[in-house]
Structure 1
Amino acid sequence: MSLDRRKFLYAAAAAGGAAALPGALWRRAFADGPAQPGPSPYGPLRAADANGLQLPEGFSGRVVARSLQRVEGTRYTWHPAPDGGACFPDGDGWIYVSNSEVPVVGGASAVRFDASGRVRSAYRILNGTTLNCAGGGTPWNTWLSCEEHDWGLVFETDPRGEADAVARPAMGRFKHEAAACDPDRRVVYLTEDQGDGCFYRFVPETWGDLSAGTLQVLVGSGPGAVRWADVPRPEFWWTPTRDQVDGAMRFDGGEGCHYSDGTCYFTTKGDGRVWAYRAAAERLEIVYDDDLVSGEAPLTGVDNVTASASGDLYVAEDGGNMEINIITPDGIVAPVLRVVGHDESEITGPAFSPDGTRLYFSSQRGESGFIGGTDGRTYEVTGPFRR
């Protein structure tokens, strides 16, 4: 990258972050530009364990499920191509849900754990959908499973598998990627996996009921002040939702999305960026850009994202060197785990258990790298995560 381009990108990032930053995350000034490589708060990664996981000292990992094999201790066969995921409380235990990014029979599954972390059961929570990529949890403990195709829908599912899944067409038909609920403004943010995609929010008529409401798209010219505009025809269209509003901001391949303490963070894979939408101020900022790091970028192929209560972001890689990287509130980027030998795969579905001590995620295509995801693996990493 040329020096002139680097200076321009730094200036743009700094301009976007000039206002005071609300929330607990990212209080530092942007005078030094977006986050930079540095030492991990957990220390360096050790040699790979028997499962091919490189982890810091004090951390351990295990395989929870493998695609097309029975989940240990159950009679349930885990789905192929595991993708987006989330954890939900369940009595004194918890549930991890996971999408399946395959056509026609995609859907989603769940694994239930007891208080000790032992698998109690595994089961299906969504059937008859296609290319279920990412999604997001709701404050009322349902899972929003998102279809990634041009007429894709959001399906609201029950992690316990007791209630039928319901399509939510009012949230728009487009190439859905991820969803993140903002309980403060009572909206749901949505990303779109297109090279010229948009960033949306859904405003329900009644919070907690996603059957009706207004889909809006972010309008602006870059980092800085932005606004929202209604999408006229979100459900049935001749013109795609991303092309219905003049001035709608374009994002190069929207991926993961996570809301925390006044800010919605989302990633765009085409330009290797992590964005922050500061909801109260209606400002957009660049948290990380792999073109703006000093030296070699530790985080490439940005994809799914989650956060811990400590204010740390955890960003999974699609490709790269198969890592999950931490981005700390003081702007340090560093790997916290790496999956070895899965060179043609991607890391998906990072999510913390409710107590913050366990991190779940998947290698979508496993060691084989087969596009159908029949070698997918879902992991659990336990350790002293910052909480």
Structure 2
Amino acid sequence: MERRTFLRGAVIGTSAAAFGGTLMPGAVYAAPAQNGPGPYGALGAADANGIQLPQGFSSRVIARSGQKVSGTSYTWHNAPDGGACFADGTGWIYVSNSEINPGGGASAVKFNSSGTVTGAHRVLSNTRQNCAGGATPWNTWLSCEEVSLGYVYETDPWGVNAAVRRDAMGKFKHEAAAADPVRKVIYLTEDESNGCFYRFIPTTWGDLSSGTLQVLVAGTATSGSFSWATVPDPDGSPTVTRDQVSGAKRFNGGEGCHYANDTVWFTTKGDNRVWQVDLTSSTYELAYDDNLVNPGPAPLTGVDNVTGSSSGDLFVAEDGGNMEICIMTPDNIVAPFLRITGQSASEITGPAFSPDGKRLYFSSQRGTTGTSSGGITYEVTGPFRA
């Protein structure tokens, strides 16, 4: 495989941690990542919350499904999934989807500058199996329905403005979204075993009410060049969007998606891969493949949601595997960052950093019970590298 070098970085700014992409000095990347020692050292013994963390890090429970969020009158939703953080004055908001059907939707928790929970509220209701999604640079949350002919809903993290269904972004089994403010597009993954990778070009950047849906076109190899082709009928009827364009590249179960520095990364759970797309050279290749780890065993399996930090590290959550969030560093190393114990019937969802990059939020979707009513949402704090 051709081993090109890529720049990696992520946003920690005035909005969500998913956008912006400041160029980080020395953040180079050669694919695919290999097993090695992580930058934070080995995992310690499980803490009181059942989480193994490197030295210097600690965890706390933020919310539990079916229970009031501490200090509020709001009951946290079942099956917490994709999430993102948004700056809120000197504090921030963490938004989380609910992957149940029917019902779905999304909720949010508010924090003040010291990290104390100050409120919680609903931002989206009466949708279907809201799995992942993505933040926008204009401070809205795109909540994606992971059902056949599902929609993307644009929501207000503050819960003030009503959510709006964005039909122009296509009807398919939506998973994640990532905004590219340079090219003024939104990238979208599709959770089908023969799914595609899309981009949506709004007619006006900042307004998702109209625009053009396109699909990535490439060969069958795991690396090469690509182009974009317009999907003629984004509503997916009578022909599903992934079957409308000849040569559309197939991906086995699209999951998380993250943009930074002219590169977009996305995961495919069906084959335990992380893909990276160089938007400057219009080329793609594997950032990680569990079958290409040498020496094994592969540290990352069940790849799912993904986010990035200001250091240029990617944090990839597992659906299954060892119930870990693994770190993929710019120097080509993949290693466990944390592990949740005693919850083997769950999955880790919704990793997102606070705007200052000092706190990582995520959920165990089914917690210790293995059911959607057992979800637990956590916060980890510690010496994250800048």
TM value normalised by structure 1: 0.93
The answer on 1:153 being equivalent to 2:151 is: yes
Pick closer, same or farther for the CA change 1:246–1:120 going to 2, 3 Å: same
The Cα of 1:368 is off from its aligned counterpart by 1.1
Map 1:220-239 → 2, pairs under 5 A: 220-221=218-219, 222=221, 223-239=223-239
- Say which is worse superposed, 350-359 or 215-224, in terms of deviation: 215-224
Q: Partner amino acid for 1:342?
A: Q
Identity of aligned residues (%): 66
Partner of 2:100: 102
Give me the whole-angstrom Cα distance separating, in 2, the residues matched to 1:29 and 1:251.
21
Deviations 1:205-255 (A, max 9, x none): 000000000000000013110000000000251010000000000000000
| Aligned pairs (5 A) from 1:95-244 | 95-221=93-219, 222=221, 223-244=223-244
Match of 1:303 in 2: 304
Offset, 1:22: 4.9
* Residue identity opposite 1:377 in structure 2: I
C-alpha separation in 2, matches of 1:323 and 1:260: 23
Describe the SS at the equivalent of 2:373: coil
- Worse-superposed segment, 235-244 or 107-116: 235-244
Give how far 1:104 is off. Answer: 1.5
Q: 1:339 to 1:246 in 2, by over 3 A?
A: same
Paired with 1:237 and 1:113, the residues of 2 have a C-alpha distance of 43
- SS of equivalent to 1:106: coil
CA–CA distance in structure 2, aligned partners of residues 90 and 385 of structure 1: 21
Relative to structure 1, is the Cα distance of residues 62 and 185 closer, same or farther in structure 2, using a 3 angstrom cutoff? same
CA distance in 1, matches of 2:305, 2:316: 6
CA distance in 2 between counterparts of 1:27 and 1:314 reads: 16
CA offsets 1:310-352 (integer angstroms, 9 cap, x no match): 1000000000010000000011111111100000100000000
Task: Give the corresponding residue for 2:383.
Answer: 384
Partner of 1:266: 266
In structure 2, relative to structure 1, the CA distance for the partners of 1:334 and 1:219 (3 Å cut) is same
Summarize the alignment of residues 22-101 of structure 1 with structure 2, pairs less than 5 Å apart.
22=7, 27-30=28-31, 34-101=32-99
What secondary structure does 1:49 align onto? Answer: coil
The CA deviation at 1:151 is: 1.2
Q: Deviations over 1:149-190 (max 9, x none)?
A: 111000000000010000001000000000000000000000
- SS of the aligned residue for 1:337 comes to strand
Secondary structure of the 2:242 match is helix
Q: Which residue matches 2:20?
A: none
**Alpha-carbon shift at residue 201 of structure 1 (Å):** 0.2
Contact 1:22/1:278 (<8 A) preserved: no
2: distance between equivalents of 1:226 and 1:51? 45
* C-alpha distance in 1 between matches for 2:149 and 2:248: 19
The whole-number CA distance in structure 1 between the counterparts of 2:239 and 2:29 is: 41
Q: Would you say the 8 A contact 1:255–1:269 is kept in 2? A: yes
Deviation at 1:21, TM superposition (A): 3.1
3-state SS of paired residue (1:21): strand
Q: 1:28 to 1:96 in 2, by over 3 A?
A: closer
Q: Is the 8 A contact 1:263 1:278 kept in 2?
A: yes
8 Å CA contact retained: 1:306, 1:351: yes
The answer as to 2:320 corresponding to 1:322 is no
Structure 1 residue ranges (4+ consecutive) displaced by more than 6 angstroms after TM superposition: none
> In structure 2, what is the Cα distance between the partners aligned to 1:304 and 1:243?
25
Is the 8 Å Cα contact of residues 7 and 29 (structure 2) preserved in structure 1? no
1:203 and 1:328 map into 2 onto residues whose CA distance is 30
| 2:65–2:78 CA contact under 8 A, matched in 1 | yes
Which residue of structure 2 aligns with residue 10 of structure 1? none
Partner amino acid, structure 2, of 1:248: A
Query: Which amino acid counterpart does residue 172 of structure 2 have in structure 1?
Result: F
Q: Does structure 1 conserve the Cα–Cα contact (< 8 Å) formed by 2:273 and 2:287?
A: yes
The match for 1:340 is: 341
For residues 135 and 281 of structure 1, the distance between their equivalents in structure 2, rounded to whole angstroms, comes to: 26
CA contact (8 A) 2:189 2:198 kept: yes
What's the C-alpha RMSD, in Å, of the aligned pairs?
1.1
> Which residue pairs with 1:375 in the alignment?
374
Label 1:50 to 1:216 Cα distance change in 2 as closer, same or farther (>3 A).
Answer: same
Provide the C-alpha distance between the structure 1 equivalents of 2:69 and 2:58, rounded to a whole number of angstroms: 20
Tell me the secondary structure at the aligned position of residue 170 of structure 1: helix
Residue 27 of structure 1 deviates from its aligned partner by 2.5
Partner residue, 2:6: 21
| Structure 2: gaps of 5 or more residues | 9-22
- Aligned pair count reads 367
Deviations 1:272-307 (A, max 9, x none): 100001111111110000000111011000000000
Distance 2:75 2:316 in 1: 28
Q: Which amino acid aligns with 1:70?
A: K
C-alpha contact (below 8 Å) 1:22/1:280 kept by paired residues: no
